[in-house]
Amino acid sequence: MRETWVAAAAVVLLLAGGAAAFWRNEEVEATSVGPAPISLNNKPPAAITLSFGELLDPGPKLKPSAKALSLNGQRVRLVGFMAQMELPPTGAFYLVPRPIKEDESGAGTADLPLDSVLVLVPSKQGEVIEYVPGALEGTGIFEVGNRSDEEGRISNFRLRLDMNSSTPITRR
């Protein structure tokens, strides 16, 4: 009983520490909580549904929401649209709340919505992923925090697609 209480207190402290992050111009340091747990039947645990409206706290200072921070390192399901980009990233694409077409010349990814999510596709590493119109549902490990990739693109939110799932991204 005491061990369960101590473990629960440690999780609460870990999550509370992650909630003290700042956003945008200041570096966000997201704590990794390790790989997603595997259930006894070797299936990944059920994904928590996350919506774009739950990523940022409303208000004058942009910062990740408490829900987004609490889901860092967890398996989530997110539905959105692939951003159609002139210069798409390799091995990844941006999932956004509504269909958009980006012209990056001179602006990089600055025209993407602040709540865009970089979806990392391990099986397509180094490849440009062809644009897919319509709504998409992605399931994988959610990450929060400013990170720059090998191509110099900065993302605030990332979704690492499940490797073990037969359909980590599906059309809706």
12-41: per-residue pLDDT in tens? 323 333 322 223 333 333 333 334 444 445
At 49 the pLDDT is 95
The pLDDT of residue 101: 85
According to the model, what pLDDT value does residue 45 have?
Answer: 73
For domain 2-171, give the CATH number. 2.40.50
**Does the pLDDT at position 60 exceed 90?**
no
Measured distance CA(124)–CA(127) in Å, rounded:
5
pLDDT at position 20 is 27
Q: Does pTM surpass 0.75?
A: no
21-25, 43-47, 66-70: the lowest-pLDDT one: 21-25
Residue labelled with tokens 């490990």: 141
Six-digit token pair at 72? 């860092």
147 neighbors 158 (Cβ within 8 angstroms)? yes
> In which band, very low, low, confident or very high, does the pLDDT at 2 lie, cut at 50, 70 and 90?
very low
Q: Are the C-beta atoms of residues 54 and 68 closer than 8 Å to each other?
A: yes
- From CA 107, how far away is CA 166, in angstroms rounded? 36
Phi, psi of 149 (to 5 degrees): -90, -175
Residue 149 has pLDDT above 90, yes or no: no
How far is 157 from 129, CA to CA, in rounded Å?
19
What pLDDT does residue 59 have? 85
Q: Determine the Cα–Cα distance for residues 59 and 139; give it in Å rounded to an integer.
A: 28
